[in-house]
Amino acid sequence: MPIMFGFSGHRRQQLVEEFRRMTEELPRLGVERAWLTGDLADNRVGPESDLEFVLVHETAERFHRRPDFFSTHLRPAVGTRFIVYTPAEFNQLRAIDQILIDACRAGDELLG
C-alpha cells in the first residue's frame, strides 16, 4: 500500500473533532467517569487510528452489549471503541483489570 503523506495529520484532526463532540455528550448520557485511551491519548495517531474510550456508566446491559448504547446515541463519524464498566465493576476491578489500570494511569481523564 502506498504511503499517504499528510494523512496522519488529517486523521488526527478528524479524531480530535469527533472526540470533542462526543466528550460534550457523555455527561448527558449518564457517564460518571471517562478516559481517552489509545493512539490519540498516546499522541501516536496514524492513518488507521480510532478513538478509544473507557467509560463508567450505570447499566444493566451485559458487558459486550454496552458499547451499542454509545454507538447508537453518539453515532461516531470515525472508528470508535467504547469499553464500559458499571460503577460497582469499576470499584471492584480498578486495581486488577489491566484496561482500568492503564486508563487510570496513562489515559486522559475526561470526567471524574
Residue in 16, 8, 12, 26 with CA at minimum distance from that of residue 82 = 26
Residue-level pLDDT at 108 = 87
Residues in CB range of 23: below 8 A, 6 or more apart: 34, 36, 110
pLDDT of residue 10: 84
Given this model, what pLDDT does residue 6 score?
Answer: 65
pLDDT at 95: 95
CATH architecture, range 7-111 = 2-Layer Sandwich (3.30)
Q: 3-class DSSP state for residue 100? A: helix
pLDDT at 28: 97
Cα dihedral 40/66/86/79 (nearest 10): 0
**The residue to which cell 451485559 is assigned:** 62
pTM above 0.85, yes or no: yes
Q: What is the pLDDT along the chain (112 residues), one digit of tens a residue?
A: 445 556 778 888 999 999 999 999 999 999 999 999 999 999 889 888 999 999 999 999 999 999 999 999 999 999 999 999 999 999 999 999 999 999 999 888 987 6
